[in-house]
Amino acid sequence: MIKLENIDTYYGSSHVIQDLSLEVEAGAAVSILGRNGVGKTTTLRSIMGLTPPKDGRVLIGDEEVAGWAPHKIARLGVAYVPAERHIFPALSVEENLKLAEANAEREGAWTLERVYEYFPVLGERRRSGGTKLSGGEQQMLAIGRALMGNPSIMLLDEPSQGLSPILVAKVAQIVSELCKEYGITLLLVEQNFRIALAMAERHYLMGTKSKIQGEVSSQEIIDDQELIKRTLAI
C-alpha cells in the first residue's frame, strides 16, 4: 500500500532523509521509532507531498506520487494527522469535522454520528471552538477529522505528544480498533515505544539521517528492550 524507494528529502540545503526505503502492506499497522530529529516526521511529510523528496520513488498502491500536490495524494485515500493537530480554532468541533468530509456517498462512509460514537466527548463538545478543547480532545478531533475523509491509509505523527498517559492509552486503543475493524493501513511515527507496541505489529528503527537500523516485530522488542533503548539513544 505504501512503498518508499531510496528517497532523499531536503529542507533547504539540509539533507534530512538520505536514501530511505520502507514498505507498509495493505491493512498493516507499522511504526517508525526513533529519537527526535532523525527524520520521522519528514518521512510522513514526504509521503503526503508536503515536503516532497528530490530523489527516489513514493508509491501509494500502484501510483507513483512523488511530486504530487498533497490534495491529490489525499484523494487516493491518504489521511495525515500531524503532531500539531492543526485544528481550525475559529471553527466548532462539528465544523472542523464537516470541513474534511469526502466520499460521503460511499457505502459505509464515515458520518458525524459514527465519529461521535467512537469519540463521545466530541459529540458533547460539538459546538465548542477548537481553542477551547484540551490536548486530548484536540487529538481525538484530529483523528475524527481524518476519518471523515474515509481514508484507506492513515499517517499518524506522534499521537502521544503532550497527552497524559491515560489519554494516550485511550487514543491508542481507539485507533488500533478502528484500523483493524475497517482495514485502514496505519503508518505511525513515535518515540514512545510502548505506544508503538500498542498500535503496530512491525517497527522500523530509525537512526540519524533517517538511516534504518533494523526492522523488528513487537515480540522482538518485548523480548529485548535493550534493542529499543539503543535505537532511541542513537
Alpha-helical segments (H) within the chain: 40-48, 70-74, 93-99, 112-118, 120-124, 135-147, 165-182, 193-199, 218-223, 225-232
Task: Look at residue 60 in the predicted model and tell me its pLDDT.
Answer: 97
Checking if the pLDDT of 234 tops 60, the result is no
* C-alpha span between 33 and 192 (Å, rounded): 8
* C-alpha span between 111 and 227 (Å, rounded): 42
Cell of 25: 502492506
Cell of 119: 469519540
Cell of 118: 467512537
Mean pLDDT (the chain) is 90
From 61-70, 134-143, 150-159, 224-233, the region with the lowest mean pLDDT: 224-233
Task: Look at residue 233 in the predicted model and tell me its pLDDT.
Answer: 63
